Structure 1
Amino acid sequence: MKKLFVAFLLICYFGTTAQVIIERNKNNNDLKLSALPYYSYGKGVGLTSPDSLFQFNIRFRMQNRVTYLQNEDEESAVDGQIRRLRLRFDGYVGDPRFLYAIQLSFAPGDVGELREGENINVIRDAVFYYRPDTHWNVVFGQTKLPGNRQRINSSGALQLTDRTINNARFNIDRDFGVQLHHLNEYKDKFSYNFKTAISMGEGRNATDAPDNGLAYTGNIELFPLGAFTREGAYFEGDLMREPKPKLLLAGAYSFNNRARRTQGQLGNDLFQKRDMQSLLLDAMLKYQGFSFQAAYMQRFADDAITVDPTDAENIEFIYAGHGFDYQLSYLFLSGYEIVGRFSTQKVIDEIYQYTPNTNQYSIGVTRYIWEHAFKAQAEFTLDDLTYIDNATKQNWYIRFQIEIGI
């Protein structure tokens, strides 16, 4: 397996020594990094050395929110927090073909609770890019795997305050490894992207003892009507008010060999390692202010339940099952947007006794002040939970959030 990993690195390097064609606007210091989309109306604050051998760009963003929650059979509660607070640095060193990107997180919800024996999760992305031309990217380091569209997109580019329940449970996430991307996007004709990855399968900032289980991911994106305006596939809502219909169809598959965690790159540690597979399908359509998204996600795993060898009553299970997401919105000329979303999630029979099936309904209103980089969002979300004994519960919340960044 180690030989395969090394061979893949060599193929990525020698297979991409094409002529250097870096198309960059002198008035735009933004670098399109295919594994790390980061929507921003502004382009941050940048420095370029006089000899143009070094570029450093810095950005920040934060999400401040307050939520009123009402869970059935529980007292109501109010929660106020800094949901996300992030810094990103990117640029190149020595040559525009050799790029870097670093993203750090500081909010408690990003870093997570500090537990004995676990790492603090400040580092989200630390990745090196070799970009010989506009079509190829070789990526080495820790960043997002090429999975579901909503997960690939920055959390700052969402129409609602969080991703769907299926993204939270079934998706693949950040990992350390090597990726190879072949990008072919054109404005007014059929376009496509291919992305592959071989990664550790353990998630971000993992320092567990090495093993021979890796994760293998492949992704294809099709643009039958041409690429979206201003990278519009990387943010939700039709902010560009596409004059012609634009369509994205995408699919990804990931196999995580000997995974250690309940959700592959995320979740609690399993008591025994398991193989798991993920299937992720997406569609996105934008036209004259209307935007529609649909997604299907599924995780497969045999023998999903693992048992503590010292206590048979203590278990950890792989969150396996499937779900659908549907999202529809319209952006008014005034800068206000209305959005509705429905998600349904069903787990496999083996784990149904431990976790419910869920239907989620969300409606929201967004006021774009400076596109996604500065916006105010209000949202109402209702969860319908159904348990194995046919018992049901309803939980809901109302939330207000402000996002700002550069």
Structure 2
Amino acid sequence: MNYKSILITLSMVAFLSVNAQETNAPKFGKGLFNLVGKDSSFTMNIGARMQFLGTSQWDSDGGLTNPESNMLVRRARLKFGGYAFTPKLQYKLELGLSNRDIGKASAFTNEAPKYILDAVVKWNFSGNWVLWFGQTKLPGNRERVISSGNLQQVDRSLLNSRFNIDRDMGMQLRHKFKLSDTFIVKEAFSIAQGEGRNITTGNLGGHQYTARVELYPFGNFASKGDYKGSDLKFEEKPKLAVGFSYDFNNDAVKNRSNQGSYMTNDTGFYSTNISTLFIDAMYKHKGFSFMAEYANRDAEDPFAKNSDGSLTGDEVQVGNALNLQTGYMLSKTVELSGRYTNIEWDKTVTGKGAENQYTLGLSKYIVGHKLKVQTDLSYLDLTGKTNQLLYRLQVDIHF
């Protein structure tokens, strides 16, 4: 961890606190404090959150063998948000401080740790039109866009870890309109660099283009519940959101579009066009929730090659996945949830067999998603490999 960077961040917060006209402590879970400029020309809400995770894992063929255990700070983050000059110009800055948040340094990040998760401004320039610029999550699969602090289970599914398009640097245009009094349509269009977050040296491939359309036949969910796990608001009427995303990464140089490993060859890097399709849905009613996602990744030529046509041994991770997840609130603070995930790799390309994971979860929401304890048990069925059993326990706190 770079303590010098953290010190600079905290010094900036202290400076803003002293020079702001109004400093007040919000309700628990709504940030550490709010800042308002002397002339109300800017606001800033500052928050922090932490997740503490313990895991135990066993090989499960012929009994429980080869036990492994681990305890770590899964996530530790600082969050800043508000508006600048006008409420129509909003911003978000989120910094990751844990090792898992930061990730590995590389030549493409100037060998610097990847502290920045989100750094984006959002300009509502006309009516329901909003232009985003900066680094943030692309409009991909629903589960990825749901904050890690608002998940129904300890962590996201295998579908997300294998197929998501995560964050990138670029521009997004967002819009929404009504087809009727209750039927809402939301659209998002994105142009990004195409190599993931915090890439500072060059753009090896082409650009990445993403389009998403969401349909809300019964209107908006309470408290943006379409992008939160669990029906903590106990929707009185059925609410449904259906989303379709298509992502095209032109001349991608990573084996999972803008994620995964670089595909190197004898001249530098191998590139090919990679497309990813997502179809997802979220349903909530009276404490019951159901989320479904389908993902498919394909490539124009998935086999990485040298200049003479020989194979390098790298290949694009092509295939498809299905994730089904449901939960029911046993009370206002306790929920039982279940999840099934299936990964079907293109075996002729990747050489990998199918993956099936079954997860049973239990959550105690002390203050909603802001203070909760979650635990789950997963069985992973791997074709041609040793099956595994995984137990996890996590404490989540947000200020």
TM-score (norm 1): 0.84
Q: Out of 73, 81, 84, which is 1:93 matched to?
A: 84
Amino acid at match of 2:334: Y
- Give 1:94 deviation, angstroms: 1.5
Partner of 2:366: 369
Partner of 1:405: 398
- Give 1:307 deviation, angstroms: 4.5
Amino acid at match of 1:49: G
- Give 1:313 deviation, angstroms: 7.9
Change (3 A) 1:158 1:281: same
Change (3 A) 1:148 1:29: farther
Amino acid at match of 1:342: Y
In 2, distance between residues paired with 1:118 and 1:264?
A: 22
Change (3 A) 1:212 1:78: closer
Partner of 1:34: none
**How large is the RMSD of aligned CA atoms in angstroms?**
2.5
Change (3 A) 1:380 1:212: closer
Q: 5 Å matches for 1:27-38? A: none
Preserved CA contact (<8 Å) 2:90 2:122: yes
In 2, distance between residues paired with 1:263 and 1:208?
A: 20
Change (3 A) 1:308 1:338: farther
Amino acid at match of 2:256: Q
Preserved CA contact (<8 Å) 1:336 1:368: yes
In 1, distance between residues paired with 2:149 and 2:181?
A: 28
- Give 1:44 deviation, angstroms: 4.5
In 2, distance between residues paired with 1:206 and 1:350?
A: 32
Q: Deviations over 1:113-160 (max 9, x none)?
A: 345664411111111111235622100111010111111110111111
Amino acid at match of 1:322: N
Amino acid at match of 2:55: T
Partner of 1:260: 253
In 1, distance between residues paired with 2:128 and 2:101?
A: 32
Amino acid at match of 1:379: D
In 1, distance between residues paired with 2:89 and 2:153?
A: 35
- Give 1:329 deviation, angstroms: 0.5
Preserved CA contact (<8 Å) 2:193 2:203: no
Q: 5 Å matches for 1:310-325? A: 315-325=313-323
Identity, in percent, stands at 35
Amino acid at match of 2:124: R
Q: Out of 192, 208, 216, which is 1:223 matched to?
A: 216
Partner of 2:353: 356
In 2, distance between residues paired with 1:76 and 1:115?
A: 32
Q: Out of 45, 49, 53, which is 1:61 matched to?
A: 49
SS at match of 1:162: coil
In 2, distance between residues paired with 1:313 and 1:257?
A: 21
- Give 1:186 deviation, angstroms: 10
In 1, distance between residues paired with 2:73 and 2:363?
A: 19
SS at match of 1:232: helix
- Give 1:314 deviation, angstroms: 5.3
- Give 1:315 deviation, angstroms: 2.3
Change (3 A) 1:239 1:230: same
Preserved CA contact (<8 Å) 1:330 1:339: yes
Q: 5 Å matches for 1:122-271? A: 122-132=115-125, 135-184=128-177, 189-211=182-204, 213-271=206-264
Preserved CA contact (<8 Å) 2:144 2:166: yes
Q: Deviations over 1:319-358 (max 9, x none)?
A: 11001110111012241000000000101133342x3320
TM-score (norm 2): 0.86
> Which sits farther off after the overlay, 141-150 or 63-72?
63-72
Change (3 A) 1:90 1:326: same
In 2, distance between residues paired with 1:301 and 1:29?
A: 50
Q: Out of 288, 291, 298, which is 2:289 matched to?
A: 291
Partner of 1:45: 33
Preserved CA contact (<8 Å) 2:319 2:345: yes
- Give 1:309 deviation, angstroms: 6.8
In 2, distance between residues paired with 1:284 and 1:383?
A: 24
Partner of 1:379: 376
The size of the alignment, in residue pairs, is 365
Amino acid at match of 1:306: A
Change (3 A) 1:63 1:308: farther
SS at match of 2:367: coil
SS at match of 1:333: coil
Q: Deviations over 1:257-296 (max 9, x none)?
A: 0111111221110120111001000111100000011110
Q: 5 Å matches for 1:10-25? A: none
Amino acid at match of 2:378: T
Partner of 2:333: 335
- Give 1:183 deviation, angstroms: 2.7
Amino acid at match of 1:62: M
Preserved CA contact (<8 Å) 1:134 1:183: no
Amino acid at match of 2:275: Q
Partner of 1:33: none
In 2, distance between residues paired with 1:212 and 1:356?
A: 29
Amino acid at match of 2:364: R
Partner of 2:19: none
Partner of 1:326: 324
Partner of 1:281: 279
Change (3 A) 1:115 1:142: closer
In 1, distance between residues paired with 2:240 and 2:85?
A: 38
SS at match of 1:97: strand
Q: 5 Å matches for 1:98-109? A: 98-109=89-100
